[in-house]
């Protein structure tokens, strides 16, 4: 990769990187969220990002598509530096991405079908509306929501919204799909359907995926590689077995869902939850 001037840049395997983050640092005011993070997202592989809530996973994936710009460091997409492009130039690059927002971010003034048509309409000349309808039907069927075309997001459950958002993210058949917690809020069976969908997209369309998740079952199932983020740094990086047997206590704690001994102490110390704390006058 011709941009890699510095030698210490981690490279997973030769020139397979579709998206490369180099020494990304991101601050929000005094809050340091990403601390010199370097990462190569490999083509056609599924990279899973895990880590405790608030550790900067969403911020990290937003940098991959430059929805957020780093304070320092560089972002490359297919060997082209993109973190310094103007919004208009970026918009061309972004059409090759699909991004599933953690909160879905559906347009609430548009129906489910219109939400999915939105990106299609923005970038393709639509000549045959029946074709588009078929496409919408197919994408909704992939997430198990065919028949919901005319519903509005406000009338859907949280999990259904998430799935519509996923259908919208893959509407343009992107090469790279970034999933921010695709299975959070779904029942176990639906979660597995989404996992299968991620695998299917990878198998059949050679999609490069980045999946942010808390759900270790899902992580082990879809991951070619798992990255754990903690306090703005990557503390573990490897395949599922590597993570399972990782010596770092923070990693073990996270994947087994164990509460920190200190946190537990705080909970036990605080004693009984007294009703007096919730007197109605607190709400006046």
Ligand X SMILES: Nc1ncnc2c1ncn2[C@@H]1O[C@H](COP(=O)(O)OP(=O)(O)OP(=O)(O)O)[C@@H](O)[C@H]1O
- Site residues, another protein (CB under 8 A): 62, 65, 67, 87-88, 90-95, 97, 99, 101, 103, 105-109, 118-119, 122-123, 168, 172
Burial pattern 151-164, b for ≥16 Cβ within 10 A else e, equals: ebbeebeebbbbbb
Number of residues written out for the chain: 284
Among 18, 21, 24, 33, binds ligand X (CB under 6 A): 33
Tokens linked to 273 = 């939850």
Stretch that binds ligand X, among 50-58, 121-129, 256-264, 272-280 (CB under 6 A): 50-58
Question: Minimal distance in Å, beta carbon 29 to another protein?
Answer: 13
Taking Cα atoms as reference points, which of 73, 78, 65, 64 lies closest to residue 27?
73
* Residue 184 interacts with Mg ion (CB under 5 A): yes or no: no
* Residue 39 interacts with ligand X (CB under 6 A): yes or no: no
Q: What is the footprint of ligand X within residues 93-112 (CB under 6 A)?
A: 102
| Interface size with ligand X, residues (CB under 6 A) | 12
Could you tell which of ligand X, Mg ion, another protein, none binds residue 252, using a CB distance below 5 to 8 A set by kind?
none
Q: 213: Cβ–Cβ under 8 A, 6 or more apart, which residues?
A: 48, 49, 50, 179, 181, 182, 183, 184, 219
Among 17, 22, 39, 57, binds ligand X (CB under 6 A): 57
DSSP category for residue 230: E
Using alpha carbons, list the distances in angstroms from residue 226 to 5, 102, 214: 26, 19, 12
* Residue 25 interacts with ligand X (CB under 6 A): yes or no: no
* Residue 58 interacts with Mg ion (CB under 5 A): yes or no: yes
Tokens linked to 229 = 């983020």
């Amino acid at each position: 990769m011709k941009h890699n001037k510095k030698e210490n840049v981690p490279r997973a395997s030769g020139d397979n990187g579709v998206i490369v983050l180099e020494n990304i640092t991101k601050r929000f005011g005094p809050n340091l969220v990403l601390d010199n993070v370097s990462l190569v997202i490999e083509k056609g592989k599924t990279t899973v990002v895990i880590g405790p809530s608030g550790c900067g996973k969403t911020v990290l994936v937003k940098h991959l598509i430059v929805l957020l710009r780093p304070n320092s460091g560089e972002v490359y997409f297919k060997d082209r530096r993109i973190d310094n492009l103007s919004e208009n130039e970026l918009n061309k690059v972004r059409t090759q991405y699909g991004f599933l927002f953690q909160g879905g971010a559906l347009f609430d003034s548009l129906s489910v079908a219109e939400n999915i048509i939105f990106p299609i309409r923005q970038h393709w000349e639509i000549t045959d509306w029946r074709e588009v309808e078929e496409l919408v039907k197919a994408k909704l069927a992939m997430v198990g929501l065919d028949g919901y075309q005319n519903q509005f997001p406000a009338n859907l459950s949280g999990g259904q919204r998430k799935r519509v958002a996923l259908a919208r993210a893959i509407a343009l058949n992107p090469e790279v799909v970034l999933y921010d917690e695709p299975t959070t809020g779904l029942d176990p069976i639906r979660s597995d359907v989404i996992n299968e969908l991620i695998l299917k997209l990878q198998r059949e369309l050679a999609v490069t995926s980045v999946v942010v998740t808390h759900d270790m079952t899902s992580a082990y199932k879809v991951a070619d590689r798992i990255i754990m983020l903690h306090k703005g740094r990557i503390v573990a990086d490897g395949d599922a077995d590597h993570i399972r047997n990782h010596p770092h206590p923070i990693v073990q704690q996270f994947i087994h869902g164990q509460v920190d001994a200190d946190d537990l102490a705080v909970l036990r110390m605080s004693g009984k939850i007294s009703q007096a704390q919730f007197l109605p006058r607190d709400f006046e």
